[in-house]
Amino acid sequence: MQKRGQITVFIVIGILIVTLIILLVAVKDRIIVSDWDKEKEASLQVPEKAREVQRFVQGCVEQVAEEGLVIMGLQGGYINLPTSHITTPRHPFATYLEIIPNTDIKTAYWYYTTPNNLQKTALPSIRQMQDELSAYIEDNLAECTFNFTLFKDYNVTTGPIFVETEIQQDKVLFTIDYLLDIDLYDFNYKIDRFYTDINSRYGELYLIAKEIQEKSKEDFFLEEKAIDVLAMNQEIPFASTEFTCSPKLWKKSDVEKTLRNALQTNMQFIKLKGTNFAEREKYFIWDLLDKSHNDISANFHYSTNWPLTMEVYPSEGELLKAEPLDIDNEAMSYLMSLFCLRDYNFVYDVKFPVLISLTDDQGNRLQFATQVIIDNNQPRENKLGTLEIFEQEQQICENAINPVIIQALAPDANGNLNPIESVDVSMKCVSTTCDLGTTKLINREPRLQAKIPQCTNALLIGNKEGYHEARELTSTVESGTYTLLMEPYKELDYEIKIVEDGMIREVEEDETIIIQIKNDDLRFTKTLTEPSGKVQLIATDLDISTSLITQGFDVTIQGKEITHCFQQPTTNILGLLGFTEEKCTTIQSEDMELDQIVRGGSETVWYLQRPDLWGSEKVTFYIPAAQIPNNIDDLEVIYAFIENPAMAIDPKLE
């Protein structure tokens, strides 16, 4: 009996517990529901005759809110992308990345450098994103309703639209004050507020993105992976010592193409530890998040269509060259040159964008771009700390007080100077670049009227498509008129010919050609690597450097016995310095197989006159070529041939 009584007590207690849980769940739904949810529920309770209009507007509210959130997610947290500085071929990076070039599909950089190499961060705040979403709905909601022309029997008058947005961890709330006065025959009803929420983990995505951006300034994971690409890719010269008698050469454009392809391949494999992804090699896993986000996916991407700048040192224009091993001792240096030891250690400066895309389990996305910067083979130095700042004009640009007039002049075919419009003008003072505006017609004459900062050594810069960049060093301390000389490009057809044994021939398939055209004073440079095409030139003195490389064959350089004598410092019996004695070394070089030979080229100055340039449609470049070498002596003859200025041939205009 006692056991039965105990069992009965336990059953009663169990029933009470279950009943209590059911009551708690029922009460919870009433107690824990937020005021916002209650107001939303109340707003849906409208009379039957007003319900059709209410549902129509509610649908518009949801549609426009989702559109705004999608746009903001794709554009790095911005509805309106930040205003960009002027881009140039030397600095092709704007404040946003064109995901598909020459389209409106763009996303903001959260980290980037300006043309004057200042580091910038541009993370939008939660408040800024909320304000932009609110403004987007305010600007587009009325258009969605078609002014209620679909409701012929109704007379609907509306008031102004005011929106309040709240981005939470797992959803986004929208409260829309929008007065509707609805008349239907003798029926009248007013609706003054709409509510909608989108199930998007946008707040969580933003916190992850912010954590990525801030911690990337500490561990430089992306930079380290890019440096590994440079160091490990066999087609990219980085640092090595090789046995070859022929100069080891690379074309800079080929190296850049290889780098672009390698970055595109490697960046897509990077994954964030703590997010949702299939197992990868540990090498590609980036461990930086403080906690796991298993329902979030993170992807990294670089495209070969996106900007990339690459500077390599040392280089000779388009050529990268491995030099003979540099040894201080004269005798050893000579011996090493005979054994054909080539040493190279190239230093790279590289900038390129990476697109970082975060997606939740509902398919909502937040993506942004960041610049990856390699400086002297090292990750960029962090000069920002961990502060979140916004894009602002430098103080010097804001202090524009001097009224000036800036003219851009361009010479015609006869050298007569004429003012031109649509020239983008900027000013560089120390390390700060200020955009001043664009020349346009004022009183029938193109000019720019602007206020300019005071600067003792100001560099005025003019850019326009079809013209070479103008740069004028001046002082802007006083008001006045300033002139920029814009040199127009003339586009010509070109072809490259080889001159061998006094005969002119075509470039053969196993030959690589490189022609470097430049004027250092004007910062003008063009590189030609194809036998024919089009080239843009300007009328000035041009340094022309040509190279011819023959490859794809096996040439045996016969060995020989070589004696080399040199003077070596010595001392006399008193230990006095200043005496030398002759030392001689004899070695026997072995036969060597070569598959690449530099067997032609020259250097000259081409004085390109304006009338000649503008009166021509085609230019032919010539590369002098020597015979393929059979031994070390032949190699020395080729080097002397290339360095002989008498062998150079000026280009021919037609």
Question: Per-residue pLDDT averaged across 579-586, rounded?
Answer: 60
Number of domains comprising the chain: 4
Residue 3 in this model has a pLDDT that exceeds 60: no
pLDDT, tens digit (0-9, with 9 covering 90-100), for 359-380: 998 899 999 999 999 998 999 8
Question: Per-residue pLDDT averaged across 281-301, rounded?
Answer: 90
9 is a domain residue: no
Domain endpoint, select from 462, 485, 508 = 485
Q: For residue 101, what pLDDT is reported?
A: 86
465 is a domain residue: yes
Q: For residue 114, what pLDDT is reported?
A: 85
Q: For residue 392, what pLDDT is reported?
A: 40
13 is a domain residue: no
Closest CA to 160 of 146, 174, 181: 181
Residue 573 in this model has a pLDDT that exceeds 60: no
Question: Per-residue pLDDT averaged across 24-36, rounded?
Answer: 57
Q: For residue 606, what pLDDT is reported?
A: 93
Residues 6+ apart with CB under 8 A from 115: 85, 86, 87, 88, 90, 91, 433
Residue 403 CA from chain centroid, whole number:
35
Across the chain, mean pLDDT equals 82
17 is a domain residue: no
Domain containing 475 — which CATH number?
Answer: 2.60.40.1120
Enter the tokens of residue 144: 């969605």
Residues 466, 358 within the same domain: no
Question: Per-residue pLDDT averaged across 492-504, rounded?
Answer: 92
Q: For residue 70, what pLDDT is reported?
A: 95
Residues 518, 587 within the same domain: yes
Q: For residue 579, what pLDDT is reported?
A: 52
Question: Per-residue pLDDT averaged across 242-261, rounded?
Answer: 77
Q: For residue 8, what pLDDT is reported?
A: 63
Least confident of 238-242, 262-266, 369-373, 469-473: 238-242
Q: Which pLDDT band, with edges at 50, 70 and 90, does 536 fall under? A: very high
Least confident of 316-325, 528-537, 626-635: 316-325
Percent over 70 (pLDDT), the chain: 80
Residues 582, 472 within the same domain: no
DSSP letters, 596-634, are: EEEEEEEEEEEE--HHHHHT-SEEEEEEEE-PPPSBHHH
Residue 14 in this model has a pLDDT that exceeds 70: no
Residues 168, 249 within the same domain: no
Domain endpoint, select from 164, 198, 232 = 198
Q: For residue 388, what pLDDT is reported?
A: 38
User: 390 forms bridges with which residues in the sheet?
Assistant: none
pLDDT, tens digit (0-9, with 9 covering 90-100), for 422-448: 999 988 887 778 888 898 888 778 888
Q: Which pLDDT band, with edges at 50, 70 and 90, does 335 fall under? A: very low
Higher pLDDT, 379 or 554: 379
Closest CA to 340 of 147, 16, 589: 589
pLDDT, tens digit (0-9, with 9 covering 90-100), for 638-653: 777 877 888 888 999 9
Q: For residue 333, what pLDDT is reported?
A: 44
Least confident of 359-368, 530-539, 561-570: 561-570
384 is a domain residue: no
Q: For residue 167, what pLDDT is reported?
A: 95
Residues 316, 462 within the same domain: no
Alpha-helical segments (H) within 346-461: 395-398
Q: Which pLDDT band, with edges at 50, 70 and 90, does 490 fall under? A: very high
Residues 137, 40 within the same domain: yes
Residues 186, 39 within the same domain: yes
Q: In which domain, by residue range, is 475 found?
A: 400-485
> 436-452 burial, b if ≥16 CB within 10 A, otherwise e?
bebbeeeeeebbbebeb
Higher pLDDT, 260 or 431: 260
Residues 352, 481 within the same domain: no
Q: Which pLDDT band, with edges at 50, 70 and 90, does 305 fall under? A: very high
Residue 257 in this model has a pLDDT that exceeds 90: yes
Question: Per-residue pLDDT averaged across 248-271, rounded?
Answer: 90
Residues 466, 521 within the same domain: no
557 is a domain residue: yes
Question: Per-residue pLDDT averaged across 564-577, rounded?
Answer: 51
Residue pair 96/227 in contact by the 8 Å Cβ criterion? no
Q: Which pLDDT band, with edges at 50, 70 and 90, does 654 fall under? A: very high
Residue 349 in this model has a pLDDT that exceeds 80: yes
pTM here is: 0.68
Residues 318, 185 within the same domain: no
Residue 544: its H or E element: strand 541-557
283 is a domain residue: yes
Residues 172, 208 within the same domain: no
Residues 514, 620 within the same domain: yes
**Type of residue found at 322:** A
Q: Give the 3-state secondary structure of residue 201.
A: coil
405 is a domain residue: yes
Higher pLDDT, 561 or 640: 640
Q: For residue 322, what pLDDT is reported?
A: 67
Q: For residue 632, what pLDDT is reported?
A: 65
Residue 350 in this model has a pLDDT that exceeds 80: yes
Closest CA to 191 of 202, 205, 204, 176: 176
Residue 325 in this model has a pLDDT that exceeds 50: no
Q: For residue 36, what pLDDT is reported?
A: 87
Q: For residue 40, what pLDDT is reported?
A: 83
Domain endpoint, select from 485, 513, 544 = 485
